[in-house]
Amino acid sequence: MGTDISPFDSIRYIPLLYDNSDSTNSALSLILTLRPEWRESKATIDFVRFTDGITNTLLKAINKLPGLSQTEIDNDAVLLRAYGKGTDVLIDREKESLAHSLLARNSLAPSLLARFENGLLYKYIQGNVCAPADLRRPEVWRGVAQRLGEWHATLPISSISSTCPTPTQLAPHNKRASLAAMASLTPGKPIPNVWTTMQKWILALPTSTTTERNRLEQLQKELEWLTNLLGDTPGIGGSNQFVFAHCDLLSGNVIIEPTPSSASASRRSSASGGSEELETAAVVSFIDYEYATPAPASFDIANHFAEWGGFDCDFTVLPTRRVRRAFLQDYLQSFSMHQNRTYKDSELDELFEQVDQCRGVPGFYWGIWALIQAQISLIEFDYAAYAEIRLGEYWAWKREFSGEREKAGEKMPTREARWAQEE
C-alpha cells in the first residue's frame, strides 16, 4: 500500500544548521553537502552577503573556478537564506516552502534546491536588486504591475491555505485561543490569510505589563473593525476575494532581470479602445516568499506602494493618484491577459477605490510585525521606532477615513496629503 508524500516532504532536507557566529564554516558545510562536486575546488568558493533585508541572513555562494566568466559563475550560484532568530512566531516555514515550490513550478521563482534546519537553499536569479528609488522608475513599476498581475491571475491559493488551520499555522502560545480567533475572524474563508496572520501576530505580542496588555487589546479591536470593513472586499470581475499575494514587495524583493537589447516600447490599451505608447517595461522577478498568503489584491498592491518610501518611510515619494491609476492599468491588463479576458473601465475604477481604502492596512500589518521583532530580533534595527511609524500610518488613515481629522480642523498628515495628490 502506497504512502502519500506531501510537497513539503518532497523537498530535499539537509540536517545542518547555519550559525551566524560561524558564518563561513557553517555556510560552507551546507553548500558542500548540496554541491559535493565543489569539494575539490573548495579554495575558490566565496560568499557574498546581501544586506537589504531586516529579518533574515542572505548569502550568495559562488565558485570562482579559473576561466569562468562572471555570468558563468552566477549561473551556478546558490542563495542561502537563514531565518532570523525567533521568526517562527511570525512565519509559517512549511507554508513558505510550499509557496516557493509552487512558484518554481510556474517559472515564477528560482528552483528550490533544499531546506535545512534554519533556512533554504535556492538557485540564484541574475539581475539587479532594486533600491526604493528604482520602484519609482516608470519602467520598473510597470514591470512590477505586470508581474503582480500574472501572480494574482494564475497562482492557486489552495497550496498555501485550507479551511481549517494546522498546528504550524497557530501562534506557539495559547494555540486553542489562536485557533478559535482565526476561525471566527474570517468564517468560511481559507486559512491562513492576511487577516488571520495579523490575528496570530497579535496573540503573540508580549503581555507582561499593563501597557502591553492594553496595546494588545486595542490592536485586537482594530483588527476586528478592519476585518468587518474590508474582509469581504470583492475580487476583480467577480473572481475570488483572495489572490495568491506576495505581501512583502519591498524594493529588496524585486529583481530587475537583464533585458534583451532588442526590446522596444509597448502600447497600453484601455477598455474603451484607446491606447498610448509607453516606455518598455522592465522584466522583473520577485523573491522571498515567507509572507505569501491569501489576501485581497488591493492589500498586496497598497502594501507595495507603501514600500516606495523604503525603510525610512519617506511619505513624500509615494505614488500619486495618476501614477497609481497607471500602475493599475498595467496590472489589470496583465491580470486579464493571463485569465483570457478583457477588463472593463469600471473594474479599474473599483480596484482604484479598493487600493485607496486599503492604504492604511499595511501600516497596521507591519506595525504589529515590528512590535514582535523588537522583542526577538538580534539584527541592529530600531524595530520599536519603526512600529510606531507604521502604526502611525494606520491611525492617520483611520482619522481621514472617519472624517475625524477634518472635523478637528487639523492639517492633513504628509502621507495622506501625498496619497490625495493628483500629479
What CATH number does the domain containing 70 carry? 3.30.200.20
| Burial 94-125, CB ≥16 within 10 A → b, else e | bbbbbbbbbbbeeebbbebbbbbebbbbbbbb
Query: Distance (Å, rounded) from C-alpha 43 to C-alpha 403?
Result: 65
User: Phi first, then psi: what are they for 225, rounded to 5°?
Assistant: -65, -45
In the prediction, which pLDDT does 53 show? 61
294 forms bridges with which residues in the sheet?
244
Query: Where in the sequence is the domain holding 38, given as residue range(s)?
Result: 23-124
- HEC string for the chain: CCCCCCCCCCCCEECCCCCHHHHHHHHHHHHHHHCHHHHHHHHHEEEEEECCCCCCEEEEEEECCCCCCHHHHHHCCEEEEECCCCHHHCCCHHHHHHHHHHHHHCCCCCCEEEEECCEEEEECCCCEECCHHHHCCHHHHHHHHHHHHHHHHHCCCHHHCECCCCHHHCCCCCHHHHHHHHHHHCCCCCECCHHHHHHHHHHCCCCCCHHHHHHHHHHHHHHHHHHHHHCCCCCHHHCCCCEEECCCCCHHHEEECCCCCCCCCEEEECCCCCEEEECCCCCEEECCCCCCEEECHHHHHHHHHHHHHCCCCCHHHCCCHHHHHHHHHHHHHHHHHHCCCCCCHHHHHHHHHHHHHCCCHHHHHHHHHHHHHHHHCCCCCCHHHHHHHHHHHHHHHHHHHHCHHHHCCCCCCHHHHHHHCCC
Q: How far is CA 9 from the centre of its chain?
A: 24
| Residue 223 covered by a domain | yes
Number of domains the chain is built from: 2
Whether residues 162 and 246 fall in one domain? yes
Among 311, 303, 319, CA closest to 252: 311
Check if the beta carbon of residue 183 is closer than 8 Å to that of residue 190.
no
| Residue 354 covered by a domain | yes
In the prediction, which pLDDT does 167 show? 45
Whether residues 252 and 146 fall in one domain? yes
User: Phi first, then psi: what are they for 8, rounded to 5°?
Assistant: -65, -45
Question: Given the DSSP bridges, would you call strands 45-50 and 13-14 parallel, antiparallel or unpaired?
Answer: unpaired
Whether residues 227 and 352 fall in one domain? yes
Whether residues 217 and 351 fall in one domain? yes
Q: What is the pLDDT of residues 107-137, one digit of tens each?
A: 999 999 999 999 999 999 999 999 999 999 9
Whether residues 215 and 321 fall in one domain? yes
In the prediction, which pLDDT does 37 show? 96
User: Phi first, then psi: what are they for 235, rounded to 5°?
Assistant: -80, 175
What CATH number does the domain containing 397 carry? 3.90.1200.10
Q: Which three cell numbers stand for residue 46?
A: 566565496
Whether residues 112 and 150 fall in one domain? no
Query: Distance (Å, rounded) from C-alpha 423 to C-alpha 421?
Result: 6
Q: Which three cell numbers stand for residue 326?
A: 497607471
Whether residues 133 and 110 fall in one domain? no
253 forms bridges with which residues in the sheet?
none
| Residue 348 covered by a domain | yes
Exposure of 261 in the CB half-sphere (CA atoms within 13 A): 0
Check if the beta carbon of residue 187 is closer than 8 Å to that of residue 199.
no
Identify the burial level of 266 via C-beta atoms within 10 angstroms of its C-beta, where 0-12 means exposed, 13-18 middle and 19 or more buried. Answer: middle
Whether residues 120 and 131 fall in one domain? no
| Residue 326 covered by a domain | yes
| Residue 4 covered by a domain | no
Check if the beta carbon of residue 191 is closer than 8 Å to that of residue 178.
no
| Residue 375 covered by a domain | yes
Whether residues 239 and 367 fall in one domain? yes
Q: End-to-end CA distance of the chain: give it in Å, rounded.
A: 65
In the prediction, which pLDDT does 88 show? 84
Whether residues 190 and 330 fall in one domain? yes
| Residue 383 covered by a domain | yes
Whether residues 108 and 154 fall in one domain? no
Q: What is the pLDDT of residues 261-282, one digit of tens each?
A: 544 455 565 555 555 666 789 9
| Residue 14 covered by a domain | no
- Stretches in the chain below the pLDDT threshold 70: 1-9, 51-54, 162-179, 260-278
Q: How far is CA 52 from the centre of its chain?
A: 14
Whether residues 33 and 148 fall in one domain? no
Check if the beta carbon of residue 35 is closer than 8 Å to that of residue 187.
no
Check if the beta carbon of residue 361 is closer than 8 Å to that of residue 299.
yes
